[in-house]
Amino acid sequence: MNDLLAKPNVSESTAAREGVFSAVIAYEDAMTRDRAMQVCERLVQRFWKDMEFNFRWWRFDFLRDAGFVRQAARQAAGSDLILFSAHARRELPCIVEKWIETWVPWRGARDGVLVAMIGTAEDQLRGLVPIQVYLREVARRANMDYLSQAAGASVSELNTSIETITKRAEKVTSLLDGILHHATIPPRWGINE
């Protein structure tokens, strides 16, 4: 077990070569795998001219094997993206959490994104579930950005919301422009008068 937890050598690392985008996808079953595949296909369609992609796929139950856990942990530690696709429930399987806790300290200051696609249209739990809270905390500890898709939202809805957010972030409203370019600050704001 100590060998499993030992940080891998640099030569074992899956650190991305220039122009190669590495991703580890952890999924629960065929339904959650297919949903993750749609996201990966959209990434390739959108960016195939600019980079090469290296996707590594791990079904949750594969992580029962210690050899697979070490291999999957090395890949996650060196990846640009880690995507979780699972059904909405209270927590991830214990074997998945153990795998996560193996690679988190190995990442160091490496940039990356953790994506949580938790929940399907068939799941009974809706909204924010404890798995998402856990994965958000994992992303924080691993110095990764965190993105989450709402249960039941389609891939096209996710893409639209990302595009919408980007457009809104780039737009400066007249109110914001007035605030940014206002030379003087009013002496009183009506607070504590």
pLDDT tens-digit readout, 108-140? 888 899 999 988 777 665 667 788 999 999 999
Whole-model pTM: value is: 0.69
Q: Confidence class of residue 97 from pLDDT cuts 50, 70 and 90?
A: very high
Taking residues 54-65, what's their average pLDDT? 96
pLDDT at residue 113, rounded to an integer: 94
CATH number belonging to domain 2-158: 3.40.50.360
Show me where the domains of the chain are located: 2-158
Beta strands across the sheet bearing 145-149: 52-59, 20-27, 81-86, 113-118, 145-149
**Degrees, nearest 5: CA angle 111-15-58:** 90
User: Who's near 73: CB < 8 A, 6+ residues apart?
Assistant: 8, 99, 102, 103, 106
**pLDDT > 90: percent of the chain:** 47
Torsion (CA) 19, 43, 106, 86 in degrees, nearest 10? -170
User: Who's near 116: CB < 8 A, 6+ residues apart?
Assistant: 84, 131, 132, 135, 136, 146, 147, 148, 149
Task: Give the SS3 label for residue 185.
Answer: coil
Taking residues 86-101, what's their average pLDDT? 93
Q: Which residues of 12-29 are buried (b: 16+ CB within 10 A; e: fewer)?
A: eebebeeeebbbbbbbbe
Taking residues 13-33, what's their average pLDDT? 79
User: CA–CA separation, 59 vs 169, rounded Å?
Assistant: 36
51-55, 119-123, 142-146, range with the lowest pLDDT: 119-123
